[in-house]
Structure 1
Amino acid sequence: MDYVKVQVRAADEFAKAGVDAMLSDSENLRLLPDGQGEAPDVFVVVVDGVVERSTFALLRQYQRDNGRVSTRVVLVAERFRAEDLLVAIECGVTALLSRGELKEGTLASAVLAVSRGAALIPYRLQGILLDQIAQLRSQVLGPAGLTLCGFETRERDVLQLISEGYQTDEIAEKLTYSEGTVKNVLYGLMNRLRLNTRSQAVAYAMRAGVI
């Protein structure tokens, strides 16, 4: 059986003992002790009250120390501030759970769901998060010529035309760029993403939903 490896960090020993007890009942989970070199699949952080800056500092330090992009974070707190949502996501949080709503089996089920790729965010925060992302796109990324997918808008435009069969000179004419600019856009994109051909760049953009 493949176990989901879990590491727990709590505000105090009593909270940690309670969380460990909740998770140890699941035969699909294996708890890792603090300080063990083995990296967990899911990192559970339990805080008292509202989430503070120190929690995000802990998560950022954890990311730096482990360097494991695949490690997912479950954050358990009394309540969450709407203004912290984007910061939490930036720190790798994929599940927000209220301490007051935890019941027997709830936490273990959440950890298993997160390990399989699920994201768990309270309904009341989902709409707020979408509004924040839209605001980020319109006020920060858009004016800088960027998209949410990490592509520049001109990279997206060039790749779109390549996917439609246009050549470099035709793309330059349509976008009112010089041919050199089109080539530089492609070179920068392919170098950043470590792609070798235009076809690979188009395929990458299609998988990312950019075009």
Structure 2
Amino acid sequence: MEKRIRVVVQAADQLSAAGLVGFLEARPEIVVLDADRRDEADVAVLAVGRLDEEVEAGLRRLAARAPVPVVLVLDEIEETDVLTAAECRVVALLPRSGATGERVARGVLAAASGGGVMPPGMVADLLDHVRRLRRQLTAPASERGRLTTREVEVLRLMADGLDTAEIATTLSYSERTIKNVFYGITSRLNLRNRPHAVAYALRRGVI
């Protein structure tokens, strides 16, 4: 008999958790582990409302402690979620409205075999993001060091002590957009954190 795929399930509510466990336990090729055996899992399945900062932090902790692929089921999926998800080892992203037992199981099987499942419209967003990163990496150093108007606005408000939510409100953007802007700055310029990014902008005289 082939080795069964070991899966750990975590959900925001007991009903969702029970439903996912029921779907997966019905598959002979899958075995569901208790939550305290997460380190033994081949795949993690997580069901939450939306990919907010708390969920993202939890995914990053999971990736650091037990680097297993993640199947993520969300009530709401925003365009930029696919970028954050990819950074957190999420290989299958499913809307709850379409997350049938068969689709969740298919996501688990794909994750275990090194594949993934993403909403078709979001794959294009991910590819565009990769292309932008490639252009940034191949651009002359002088161009890579330039900050866009939006990046300057974000860094200026960070320097004033505003948090992500306050910056998003001030600039009329979503919190996810602000986080992606900051991630773009730090990854492109190899900056460690907020103080480092603000110091960089100050040295360049743009804030």
How far apart, CA to CA, are the structure 1 residues paired with 2:20 and 2:38? 21
Residues 1:59 and 2:59 aligned together = yes
Give the aligned residue type for 1:55: V
TM-score, normalising length from structure 1? 0.62
Choose 1 or 2 for highest CA Rg. 1
Deviations 1:4-60 (A, max 9, x none): 000011111111111111111001001110112642110111012x32111111111
Pair 1:144–1:101, CA change in 2 (3 A)? farther
Cα RMSD (Å): 1.7
How far apart, CA to CA, are the structure 2 residues paired with 1:142 and 1:10? 41
Residues 1:117 and 2:118 aligned together = no
Give the percent of matched residue pairs that are identical in Structure 1 and Structure 2.
Answer: 31
How far apart, CA to CA, are the structure 1 residues paired with 2:89 and 2:116? 11
Please give the residue correspondences for 1:1-211 in structure 2 after superposition, counting only pairs within 5 Å: 1=1, 2-36=3-37, 38-48=39-49, 50-66=50-66, 68=67, 71-139=68-136, 141-143=137-139
Stretches of 4+ aligned residues off by more than 6 angstroms: none
Helix, strand or coil at the partner of 2:80:
helix
Any stretches of 5+ residues in structure 2 without a counterpart?
142-207
Give the aligned residue type for 1:94: V
TM-score, normalising length from structure 2? 0.63
Pair 1:57–1:116, CA change in 2 (3 A)? same
Pair 1:37–1:95, CA change in 2 (3 A)? closer
Give the aligned residue type for 2:5: V
How far apart, CA to CA, are the structure 1 residues paired with 2:95 and 2:80? 17
Pair 1:84–1:24, CA change in 2 (3 A)? same
Give the aligned residue type for 2:90: V
Is the 2:8–2:37 Cα contact (8 Å) retained in structure 1? no
Any stretches of 5+ residues in structure 1 without a counterpart?
146-211
